[in-house]
Structure 1
Amino acid sequence: MTFASPLWLLALLALPALWWAGRRGGAAPGVRYSVADDAAALGTTGWAHVRWLPGALLAAAFGLGAVALARPQERDASLERSTEGIDVVLALDVSTSMTAEDFVPNRFEAAKAVAAEFVRGRTSDRIGLVVFAAQAYTQAPLTLDYPFLLTMLQEVRMGVIEDGTAIGTALATATARLRDSDAASKVVILLTDGQNNRGQVDPQTAAEAAAALGVKVYAIGVGDEGGAVRGAGPFGGAFFGTAPEVDEEALRAVAQTTGGRYFRATDAQALREIYAAISDLERTEIEETVLLDVRELYPWFLWPALACLVLSVGLSTTRLREVP
């Protein structure tokens, strides 16, 4: 409980003096009789023992009135947040070259782990997931259900679709997921370690379509050139090869066309820092409004004060009236 006019509480300091005045510290009042026997025959009643009551009620009325004038209040503050969320689609390369072990344990697993950290760091943004190799498909639509999204990210496997790197098709698929979005910002984070060599849509055409829809692309090229690649051979077993060179020129052009940026990550820590930088660039703005609900409590003190005053005046002029 707070007071809107707390200075009125200083009036409570006068209560002891008012109480003393109410008790009338001088000689007790009475009625003079010519014969003592006549006075003794009158006797006393219970009212004689509460002759102090009008003064006490007057002091109570004064104290309660002072508290009422101080305007006691109950304040209930609530915080209202409004956000304009960002829609983000993660486009993840799952081609065979992502098994290169220049990341720990490899590019594919490191990319999934860092993407999961990115998802956990968002609060009010819808996020979707597109995976691609020779073709692209939507692993998870735009959603605020982050546990579901993390589960779908964890379930991404290599070898489910034909090998290859269809960067243009992946970007077109991710952009299609954002076509009907009315978010304040629409973003595609495209991660790949190779060059566009499959699909019917070239990356630049897909980038121009994304720009027309207001979609911003952040492209990430991962891996050291010449990293070791391990994959399944045509007759079982495993094969080893050399990771393809990232087409940085094409990825940089895609990012610039849409107003985004291109990044290069050569290890997991660099990839983590890139996602952190993108997260800072595309941060949701949160507007906070404090709503204050004030409840006036002075009637709880004012009405008892008036009741005490009326009762004090009534008793002092009737049953407890004093005569000199």
Structure 2
Amino acid sequence: MIDIDSIATVGITSISIWILVILGKLYLNLKANHLKKEHPNLKNRIYTANTKLYLTRLTCLLLSLILAFYSLYKVKSTEVESLKEFESADVLFVVDVSLSMNTIDVRPNRLKRFQDLALRILTSLKGNRIGIVVFAGQSFSFCPLTSDITAVSDYIQALGVEMVGAKGTDLAIALERVNKIRKKNNHISSQITVIVSDGEDHENQNLPKVTGEVMVWGIGTEEGSVIEYRDPGTGKGGYVTLDAGLSDSPMAPNLVVSKINGEKLKSLADQNNGTYHDVSFQADGAYALLDTIQTVKKQKIQMIEHFKNEDGAHPFLIAAFAFLFLERILNLFVQKIPKGIYTFFLILIFFGLGRLEAWELDPGGNSIERGVKSYHSKNYNESQKEFEKAKEYIQDDPRLLYNESASAYQLGQYKDAIGLSEKILAHPKADPDLKAKANFNLGNVYSKLGDKKKALQSYTKTLEIDPDHLSAKKNIEHLTKKKDQGQNQNQKGNESLPEPERRNQKENQKQEKSDAERILDPLSQDSILKNKKGGSIDNEKFW
């Protein structure tokens, strides 16, 4: 980092050099004028400037440099307070971090499923205060209520079953802590509590009621599975056994099998007049949370922001620019310019500059910029109009087609969105990245239309181009899990059918399953949830 002394040395050296150059140029100009007086025949052969005008111009340039350098020493840093008012809801996640949350019946495990789900909706929670309370045998406030979603993201990714020393599951003490937090913030009318657990070991507890809106997210399956534990430092571990040991094999006979206690979680939701959602394989609970935040009456919050205001240098910089501008004007008079040029410039300034602000140098680009802003403001009708205007100036660009398809998708114009996306895929100028986005957009449209097979095909094509497209993987996971659950329900219902009909049903389901497996063949389902960065399932990126 350059210190102020080094800057001073460079500045003084530069100014000294300029003074010597100015004196040298002034001396040459004086000598040339003297020579022209002594030899009149050289008058038209040697061009010199008026000495006074030339001296004034060089003085203006020197003053501009000195003032610019001096402004560095006049910068003052002052603390400024700004009062910001916004509407906010308080969302408090109460997360079970007991050992059973490492059960692998939900891949990669129950706790990581919550982490992935929370990170995916975190950007949609922007503007609200978010906090996290964790519990196992004990409870503590892990993340205080904050509107900084970047900090919340770090806290979510840091969750682990080893963070609470006391083993077990004491939800009662966690809910008591929630009520204490709520009591401190009783001026906030919109308080939402999201309890995340598998419901194990809650049977003998007398749970207190929680104030505000309550949602319960259950994670796990009724069949259950084994619990995997690995040391976060060394990575060594295994599967938890009944004698509190670890086994290398998930098929060992004495392993602990953890199952979700859905009935207990549902009764917890009913006790608090809340709602219960199984988020093991579907994100319905997350979407319900976002809908609740939109509908609850939000409290106006006033926040005092502190920031530094750098001031003091502006007057000197303005003076420096003024002298520099004057030097450029005087230079026009010093140079040998044809007569009448000054009159032309004056006419241009008075009659041209008045309308110069109305000229658009890039009307197509400006329309796209306005369209993008309207899209991010969720004003999709206006966004679509701006992209239509841009087409008058920008012809045959697949990126503009993508912007149009995104707006059409948000407006529910699915037929138009499909047509535009297919044009992008057939366009010779579309690069692989744009084609991946177009396929992803098609997958979203087909998913909305209920055509799961085409949606899966489009998401798979996205991954063929971009294997790291996390949102496409997550959408595939959502569709395939939902389909598997529907097939399981159909199998239970078919048990009452006659044997020949049941056999035909099974053959049809087997055929459907093989088609889905063929579509998903290039994917690794085990890796879908391992990426913790999250991401939006909708296309929101523009060129």
Partner of 2:222: 225
Counterpart CA distance in 1 for 2:183 and 2:172 is 16
- 2:288 pairs with 1:277: yes
Counterpart CA distance in 2 for 1:171 and 1:282 is 21
Contact 2:227-2:258 within 8 A present in 1 as well: no
Equivalent of residue 110 in structure 1, options 113, 124, 145: 113
Deviation, structure 1 residue 135: 1.4
- Change in 2 beyond 3 A, CA 1:247/1:202: farther
Contact 1:216-1:255 within 8 A present in 2 as well: no
Cα distance per residue 1:168-187 (max 9 Å; x no partner)? 22222223222222223101
Counterpart CA distance in 2 for 1:244 and 1:163 is 17
Deviation, structure 1 residue 191: 0.8
- 2:166 pairs with 1:171: no
Partner of 1:242: 257
Cα distance per residue 1:299-324 (max 9 Å; x no partner)? xxxxxxxxxxxxxxxxxxxxxxxxxx
Deviation, structure 1 residue 188: 0.7
Counterpart CA distance in 1 for 2:293 and 2:147 is 16
Give identity over the alignment, percent.
Answer: 24
Counterpart CA distance in 2 for 1:220 and 1:155 is 20
Partner of 2:315: none
Deviation, structure 1 residue 279: 1.1
Partner of 2:269: 255
Contact 1:227-1:242 within 8 A present in 2 as well: yes
Counterpart CA distance in 2 for 1:278 and 1:156 is 21
Cα distance per residue 1:148-204 (max 9 Å; x no partner)? 1111111112123222222222222223222222223101100110234499x622x
Deviation, structure 1 residue 235: 4.7
Q: What secondary structure does 1:187 align onto?
A: strand
Counterpart CA distance in 1 for 2:260 and 2:151 is 34
Bigger RCO of structures 1 and 2 (CA < 8 A, at least 6 apart): 1
Return the letter of the residue paired with 2:279.
A
Q: What secondary structure does 1:189 align onto?
A: strand
Q: What secondary structure does 1:178 align onto?
A: helix
- Change in 2 beyond 3 A, CA 1:150/1:285: same
Counterpart CA distance in 2 for 1:126 and 1:286 is 11
Contact 1:104-1:110 within 8 A present in 2 as well: yes
Deviation, structure 1 residue 132: 1.1
Contact 2:190-2:297 within 8 A present in 1 as well: no
Q: Which has the higher strand share?
A: 1
Question: Normalising by structure 2, what TM-score?
Answer: 0.33
- Change in 2 beyond 3 A, CA 1:170/1:217: same
Structure label with greater radius of gyration = 1
Partner of 2:311: none
Deviation, structure 1 residue 143: 0.4
Deviation, structure 1 residue 266: 3.5
Q: Which has the higher helix share?
A: 2
Counterpart CA distance in 2 for 1:241 and 1:286 is 45
Contact 1:89-1:129 within 8 A present in 2 as well: yes
The gaps in structure 2 that reach 5 residues or longer are 1-83, 230-239, 300-543
Q: What secondary structure does 1:163 align onto?
A: coil
Deviation, structure 1 residue 237: 5.0
Q: What secondary structure does 2:215 align onto?
A: strand
Q: What secondary structure does 2:154 align onto?
A: helix
- Change in 2 beyond 3 A, CA 1:91/1:235: same
Equivalent of residue 93 in structure 2, options 90, 93, 110: 90
Counterpart CA distance in 2 for 1:175 and 1:193 is 21
Contact 1:196-1:202 within 8 A present in 2 as well: no
Counterpart CA distance in 1 for 2:178 and 2:256 is 30
Equivalent of residue 198 in structure 2, options 193, 199, 207: 193
Deviation, structure 1 residue 134: 1.3
- Change in 2 beyond 3 A, CA 1:184/1:286: closer
- 2:147 pairs with 1:150: no
Return the letter of the residue paired with 1:251.
L
- Change in 2 beyond 3 A, CA 1:286/1:180: closer
Return the letter of the residue paired with 1:281.
T
Cα distance per residue 1:222-252 (max 9 Å; x no partner)? 111132122445455557421134152x433
Contact 1:133-1:164 within 8 A present in 2 as well: yes
Q: Matches of residues 28-67 of structure 1 in structure 2 within 5 Å? A: none
Contact 2:218-2:260 within 8 A present in 1 as well: no
Contact 1:125-1:144 within 8 A present in 2 as well: yes
Return the letter of the residue paired with 1:131.
V
Q: What secondary structure does 2:184 align onto?
A: coil
RMSD of aligned Cα (Å):
2.7
Counterpart CA distance in 1 for 2:219 and 2:269 is 15
Question: Normalising by structure 1, what TM-score?
Answer: 0.54
Partner of 1:123: 126
- Change in 2 beyond 3 A, CA 1:196/1:186: farther
